[in-house]
């Protein structure tokens, strides 16, 4: 089955529209969403409604910004820009969107894979950015592969295929457009591997373009794609909403 994999939309409707059009064109059969529909960006309500209305099978988790917008996570943990934006987003989402977000968990254990916003052990807080974080979270993953978001970086981690789980070296690398990263099946299951599709609405790897992934569950193959979108319109909406100028500027720098 072909999955459209995306994360960290953060209220950027122009970027989300571009990604969903690409998924449609690619004939994806289902969607994996790794959390953070709202926060930072100027269109939280439209983004929640667009994802909520996806016709095909959607496997979503919520992120820390979604939880803060719902009032179940204290935004005082956020930097001032993120805090201002999430408190603004809280006022902009409808009861219907609030209900949709409140039904999501920050971790989802599927039959064919696991999804967590940050990490399986602390899905709303921890970042999967180091080999230590990967190894310490391995016992918490019931089914591999694991899909994560939160860091806004397209990355993969995996146990090198010639080593047994927990006993060998870990490979960690960014995934640039066009590179295919493949998992491997063994008699005991899939060799531990983590995929991060980067961020749709606020990439932080010095590339402004929206980031997303395609996952083929038969081939265990994951690829990352970068898509241009109307960034000037997104920046204008941020300014028109009275959100911090920094949030408009950082989009252009991919930071």
Measured CA distances, 253 to 16, 145, 198, 231 (Å): 18, 31, 15, 11
- Closer residue to Fe ion in complex, CB, 8/126: 8
> Which residue stretch of 19-27, 29-37, 92-100, 132-140 sits at the interface with Fe ion (rule: CB under 5 A)?
29-37
Round to the nearest angstrom and report the end-to-end CA distance of the chain: 33
Candidate segments 1-9, 94-102, 129-137, 227-235, binder of Fe ion by CB under 5 A: 1-9
Cis peptide before 145 (omega within 30 of 0): yes
* Prior bond of 137 cis (ω within 30°): no
Query: Residue 8 or residue 43: which is nearer to Fe ion going by CB?
Result: 8
Scanning 7-15, 179-187, 210-218, 234-242 for contacts with Fe ion by CB under 5 A, the matching segment is 7-15
* 36 counts as binding Fe ion under rule CB under 5 A: yes
The one among 5, 6, 8, 18 contacting Fe ion by CB under 5 A:
8
- The distance of closest approach from Cβ of residue 12 to Fe ion in the complex, given in angstroms and rounded to an integer, is 11
Nearer to Fe ion, 202 or 235 (CB): 202
Total of residues contacting Fe ion (CB under 5 A)? 2
Q: How far is CA 150 from CA 21, 92, 118, 124, in A?
A: 23, 22, 5, 8
11: left (phi over 0), alpha (psi -120 to 50) or beta: left
Q: Which stretch binds Fe ion (CB under 5 A): 5-13, 24-32, 45-53, 71-79?
A: 5-13
* Burial of 8: CB neighbours in 10 Å, binned 0-12, 13-18, 19+: buried
Q: Is 75 exposed, middle or buried (CB count within 10 Å of its CB: 0-12, 13-18, 19+)? A: buried
The residue among 65 and 191 lying less far from Fe ion, judged by its C-beta, is 65
Q: What are phi and psi of 204, to 5 degrees?
A: -125, 30
Which region among 36-44, 70-78, 93-101, 170-178 touches Fe ion (by CB under 5 A)? 36-44
Shortest reach from residue 36's CB to Fe ion, in Å: 4
Sign of the alpha-carbon dihedral angle for 198, 62, 48, 232? negative
- Measured from the CB atom, the residue of 81 and 170 that comes closer to Fe ion is 81
If the CB atoms of residues 149 and 192 are measured against Fe ion, the closer one turns out to be 149
Binding region for Fe ion (CB under 5 A): 8, 36
């Amino acid at each position: 089955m072909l999955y459209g994999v995306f994360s960290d939309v953060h209220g950027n409707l122009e970027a989300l529209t571009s990604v969903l059009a690409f998924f449609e064109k690619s004939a994806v059969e289902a969607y994996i969403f790794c959390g953070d529909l709202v926060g930072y960006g100027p269109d939280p309500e439209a983004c929640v409604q667009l994802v909520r209305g996806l016709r095909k099978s959607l496997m979503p988790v919520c992120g820390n910004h979604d939880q803060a917008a719902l009032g179940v996570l204290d935004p005082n943990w956020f930097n001032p820009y993120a805090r201002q934006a999430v408190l603004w987003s809280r006022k902009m989402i409808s009861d219907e969107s609030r209900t949709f977000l409140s039904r999501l968990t920050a971790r989802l254990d599927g039959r064919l894979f696991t999804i967590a916003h940050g990490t399986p052990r602390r899905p709303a807080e921890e970042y999967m950015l180091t080999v230590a974080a990967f190894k310490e979270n391995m016992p918490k993953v019931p089914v591999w592969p694991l899909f994560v978001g939160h860091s806004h970086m397209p990355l993969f981690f995996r146990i090198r295929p010639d080593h047994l789980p927990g006993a060998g070296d870990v490979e960690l690398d960014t995934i640039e457009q066009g590179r295919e990263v493949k998992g491997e099946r063994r008699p005991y299951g899939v060799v531990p591997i983590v995929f991060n599709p980067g961020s749709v609405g606020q990439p932080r790897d010095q590339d402004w373009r929206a980031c997303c992934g395609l996952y083929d569950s038969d081939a265990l193959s994951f690829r990352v794609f970068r898509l241009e979108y109307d960034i000037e319109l997104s920046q204008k909406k941020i300014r028109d909403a009275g959100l911090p100028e920094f949030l408009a500027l950082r989009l252009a720098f991919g930071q």
